[in-house]
Amino acid sequence: MDTPVIELTGVTKSFGPVDVLKGVNLTAYAGKVTALVGDNGAGKSTLIKGLAGVQPYDNGVVKVFGEEVQLHTPREASRLGIEVVYQDLALCENLDIVQNMFLGREELSVGTLDEGVMEREAAQTLQSLSVRTVKSLRQKVSSLSGGQRQTVAIARSVLKKAKVVILDEPTAALGVAQTEQVLNLVRRLADQGVAVIIISHNLVDVFQVADYISVLYLGQMVASVRTEDTNNADVVGYITGSKTYDGAQS
């Protein structure tokens, strides 16, 4: 297999006397969806915040495209093509879709906002992801459904030329149709060659969209397996600690 886009080896993170990550390994490949699952308190959020440069790991090796890197700030992670879509989406409801997609990195022309360029690039990005549920790029985010908001947040990461997109519970609180819409978007994102890491408690969604499943249990990666080689009952067993995996990473 090709070199992983992301390769974590033996990463650790402690908060005072509490060891949250205990030598975790994780890989993510271009064009593939890796699901990161585990019970509350397993260490999923801490693992992702380390990759995002929000809470740097204490120890361990982080490689991006085979090159060892240091991730101390979100800016460093973004420069390497790592983008995170958090559960709260970080969208401004009083702004429209274009303004949200370019928030903080607006295109300028002669000292003013170049609305034409931004609207054109936003439209091209949404079109590349086959997004057809948005009526107008000038809709305020406050008027969008949950699935449409998730779409805007994901499209924003694509606009930033992300090599890795991490999605934190992207289908939480969505209805059936909106969930299907977001999962289809996740697959199209991977089909464009992006390495996608999706955090989810919904195993139905995980088995529908993921190529690989990695399971955290009490700060340790207890299973990393191809989706086609496992089943719902086994994954539940890994999550709860009632089942062990022969190829587990310590």
Please indicate, yes or no, if residue 147 is contained in any of the structural domains.
no
Amino acid at the residue 213: I
- pLDDT at position 1, please? 54
User: Does residue 144 surpass a pLDDT of 80?
Assistant: yes
Please indicate, yes or no, if residue 139 is contained in any of the structural domains.
no
List all residues 6 or more positions away from 190 whose beta carbon is below 8 Å from its beta carbon. 31, 32, 33, 196, 211
Return the number of other C-beta atoms located less than 10 Å from residue 39's C-beta: 15
CA neighbor of 95 nearest in space, from 157, 150, 146, 152: 152
User: Does residue 24 surpass a pLDDT of 50?
Assistant: yes
Count of the separate structural domains present in the chain: 1
Mean pLDDT computed over 89-111: 84
pLDDT in tens, 229-240: 999 999 999 999
At 155, give phi and psi (nearest 5°). -60, -35
pLDDT in tens, 33-51: 999 999 999 999 999 999 9
Structure tokens at 89: 């989406």
- In the structure, what pLDDT confidence band is assigned to residue 173 with cuts at 50, 70 and 90? confident
- Residue 169 structural domain: 6-92+162-240
**CATH number, residue 16:** 3.40.50.300
- pLDDT at position 247, please? 63
